[in-house]
Amino acid sequence: MPLLELSGIHARYGEMAALQGVDLDLSEGETLALAGANGAGKTTLMRLLCGLMPPSRGEVRVAGICLPPGDPRAAAAAGLALVPEGRLLFDSLSVEENLMIGAGARAGRWSLKAIYDLFPVLRDKRTQPPGSLSGGQQQMVAIGRALAANPAILLCDEISLGLSPLVTREVYEALKSVQREGIALIVVDQDVSRAQAISDRVACMFQGRLTLTGPAATTTPQAMKAAFFGDAA
């Protein structure tokens, strides 16, 4: 049984259809790179998965159990955690408070110490407000904050947005450590090839539909490009 199953997911923003019948699954410990142009529906899918918006049709199952629509607490308890696009850290909280705020949703190995071991640079910044950190360090806090909830599935939206190549490499190294802990990942990144390099499978969206899913190792850039512009491979 897959860890995550989406069947016939539709979502709307008022009159506009953002997702139109998305079917997708993810196995335990699997990593999926999700690609697509701006407005293809990637962020909507991420928001929907973690309960920030309800589907207009369809259902999301985690370990076979249907998630109540639009309930972020239930999604967190089921093991879904989001590293949102733009980090969206709590500015009034210190780095450590940001990391602690989501702790306790589930039991697991991601204690404060484990997060500091993954991102040692944050240990010295623990009392600082996140706004005083560099973009890369802020992304580390965002990843750490999501890990503190001990997720089974980590959703990373635009993971390298605004980061330098050096910092992006660091962030991806951290994601590999997360993979080694058996956590499933869905990674959205404008740099598709980088996300593909750490993934087991790739998927591509166009105008709210999945236009491609396939093994990361054998999906060619040509097939990705065709799916990116809406031509099914």
Partner 1 sequence: MTALFELLLQGVTLGGLYGVIGAGLALTFGVLRVVNLSHGELITIGAFIAVGVTALAPTVPVLAVLVLACALCAALGGLLQVAFVERAMHFRDPMVPMLVTFGIAVILRNLLVETAGADLRGLNVGGLAQASLQLGPVIIGALPVVTLGIAVVVFAGLAAVIRHTRFGREVRALSDRPDIAALMGIRVARVHVKVAALAAGLAALAGVLLAMRASVSPYSGVSYLLIAFEVVVLGGLGSTRGAFAAGVLLGVTQVLSAWWDSNAGLLYVHLVFFSILVLRAMTGRLS
Least distance from partner 1 to the Cβ atom of residue 154, Å: 13
Site membership for partner 1, residue 88 (CB under 8 A): yes
- Rounded CA gap, 179 and 114, in Å? 14
Q: Least distance to partner 1 from the beta carbon of 89, Å?
A: 8
Among 26, 76, 78, 212, binds partner 1 (CB under 8 A): 76
Our finding on whether 102 is near partner 1 (CB under 8 A) is yes
**115 forms part of the interface with partner 1 (CB under 8 A):** no
- The reply to whether 73 sits near partner 1 by the rule CB under 8 A is yes
- In the complex, what is the shortest distance from the CB of residue 77 to partner 1, in angstroms, rounded to a whole number? 7
Find the binder of partner 1 among 41, 84, 144, 208 (CB under 8 A). 84
Residue 9 near residue 21 (C-beta atoms within 8 A)? yes
Whole-number Cα distances in Å, 193 to 121, 189, 224 = 27, 9, 10
CA 17 to chain CA centroid, nearest Å: 22
* Interacting span for partner 1 (CB under 8 A) from 4-12, 16-24, 44-52, 193-201: 44-52
Across-strand partners of 16? 13
Answer yes or no whether residue 52 interacts with partner 1 by CB under 8 A: yes
Alpha carbon distance 155, 88 (integer Å): 14
Question: Would you say 79 and 151 are in contact if contact means Cβ atoms under 8 Å apart?
Answer: yes
Q: Is 110 exposed, middle or buried (0-12, 13-18, 19+ CB in 10 A)?
A: buried
Q: Phi-psi bin for 29: left (phi > 0), alpha (psi -120 to 50), beta?
A: left
Q: Tell me if 145 contacts partner 1 by CB under 8 A.
A: yes
Report d(CA 26, CA 168) in Å as an integer: 24
Which part of the chain contacts partner 1 (CB under 8 A), choosing from 55-63, 67-75, 162-170, 198-206? 67-75
Binding segment for partner 1 (CB under 8 A), chosen from 55-63, 95-103, 114-122, 158-166, is 95-103
Within 121-216, strands assigned E span 153-156, 184-188, 201-206, 209-215
Residue 97 in contact with partner 1, rule: CB under 8 A: yes
Q: Which stretch in 45-53, 117-125, 168-176, 224-232 sits in contact with partner 1 by CB under 8 A?
A: 45-53
Q: Which stretch binds partner 1 (CB under 8 A): 17-25, 60-68, 77-85, 208-216?
A: 77-85
- The residues of the shown chain that bind partner 1, judged by CB under 8 A, are 50-52, 72-73, 75-77, 81-82, 84, 88, 90-93, 97, 100-102, 104-105, 145, 149
